[in-house]
């Protein structure tokens, strides 16, 4: 189905996680070769030679132009300048030739940041800087998706399909990620044991609202790859403290954001496959309709 096609994952490390899942699943058929144009691990490209299928990954955790302002910051997790209305050209200028673009962002928005619009500071998220208004993180989150969709809608040569992969909640319990929180459950939640609420719900609703606006104002193909509810039910699917090789002498936070491989994230490939099938059927019907009109 993807012979002669190309697919780009654009976003944060959970997007990379999804791509790694897909590479693992496809390894039953073929291993790709690394054809990355640079040694930068933030921008990778693989090719499946026998299928002429290309996978690429563009690291852009905020989707818009950003810069680290302070490597420490008030919460010791870095303070970032986010230019909410400016494109991150490291990916926006690279997508024209891709057939499928899978867009995601989320977990980095809990970090402290200074928000810029029209090159001026408009506020911040817990930056603790004098004379700067504190804004909710949802302020920045909404605007980066608006800007990312505007960038895609503005790419004249881009003819592909953009899938918005919705926010996948983390599952820290008994503390925040940097305060000893962990995820040690061994079975999924039942549907009556948890609900989508708080920040998870806000992020999800913002994505849906901005997605609908992008669909309405543009002429590009946008599709919703909705993983949120499915992943909310899988607190058992994260690496926790096992997110590195056993022989590595490293001190890491418990990882309750990314997903084990194999693991629940592999289901995203099933969702995506179904959607690509639906897309192929729709394109086929459109071509039939067009050829019928030409013959009349």
Query: What's the pLDDT band for 268 if we cut at 50, 70, 90?
Result: very high
pLDDT digits (tens, 9 = 90+) for 169-193: 999 999 887 788 999 999 999 999 9
Tell me whether strands 6-11 and 53-59 are parallel, antiparallel or unpaired.
parallel
Q: Assess contact for 96 and 102: CB atoms under 8 A.
A: no
What pLDDT is recorded for position 177? 79
pTM given for the model: 0.93
Catalytic site residues? 13, 255, 258
- The 3-class SS string of 203-263 reads HHHHHHHHHHHHHHHCCCEEEEECCHHHHHCCHHHCCECCCCCCCCCCCCCCECCCCCCCC
pLDDT digits (tens, 9 = 90+) for 100-157: 999 999 999 999 999 999 999 999 999 999 999 999 999 999 999 999 999 999 999 9
């Amino acid at each position: 189905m993807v012979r002669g096609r190309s697919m780009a994952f654009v976003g944060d490390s959970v997007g990379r996680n999804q791509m790694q899942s897909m590479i693992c699943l496809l390894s039953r058929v073929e291993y790709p070769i690394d054809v990355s144009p640079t040694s930068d691990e933030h921008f990778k490209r693989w090719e499946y030679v026998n299928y002429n299928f290309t996978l690429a990954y563009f690291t852009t955790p905020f989707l818009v132009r950003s810069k680290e302002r302070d490597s420490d910051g008030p919460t010791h997790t870095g303070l970032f300048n986010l230019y909410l209305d400016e494109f991150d050209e490291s990916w926006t200028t690279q997508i024209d030739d891709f057939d499928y673009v899978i867009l995601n962002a989320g977990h980095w928005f809990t970090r402290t940041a200074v928000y810029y619009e029209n090159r001026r500071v408009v506020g911040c998220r817990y930056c603790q800087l004098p004379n700067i208004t504190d804004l909710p993180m949802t302020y920045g989150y909404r605007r980066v998706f608006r800007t990312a969709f505007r960038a895609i809608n503005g790419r004249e040569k881009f003819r592909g399909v953009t899938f918005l992969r919705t926010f996948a909640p983390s599952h820290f319990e008994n503390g925040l990620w940097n305060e000893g929180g962990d995820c040690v459950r061994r079975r999924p939640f039942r549907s009556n044991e948890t609900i989508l609420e708080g920040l998870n719900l806000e992020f999800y609703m913002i994505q849906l609202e901005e997605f609908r606006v992008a669909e309405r104002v543009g002429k590009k193909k946008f599709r919703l790859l909705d993983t949120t509810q499915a992943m909310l039910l899988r607190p058992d699917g994260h690496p926790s403290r096992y997110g590195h090789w056993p022989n590595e002498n490293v001190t890491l936070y418990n990882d309750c954001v990314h997903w084990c491989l194999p693991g629940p994230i592999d289901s995203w490939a099933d969702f995506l496959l179904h959607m690509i099938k639906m897309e192929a059927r729709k394109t086929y019907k459109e071509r039939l309709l067009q050829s019928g009109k030409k013959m009349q």
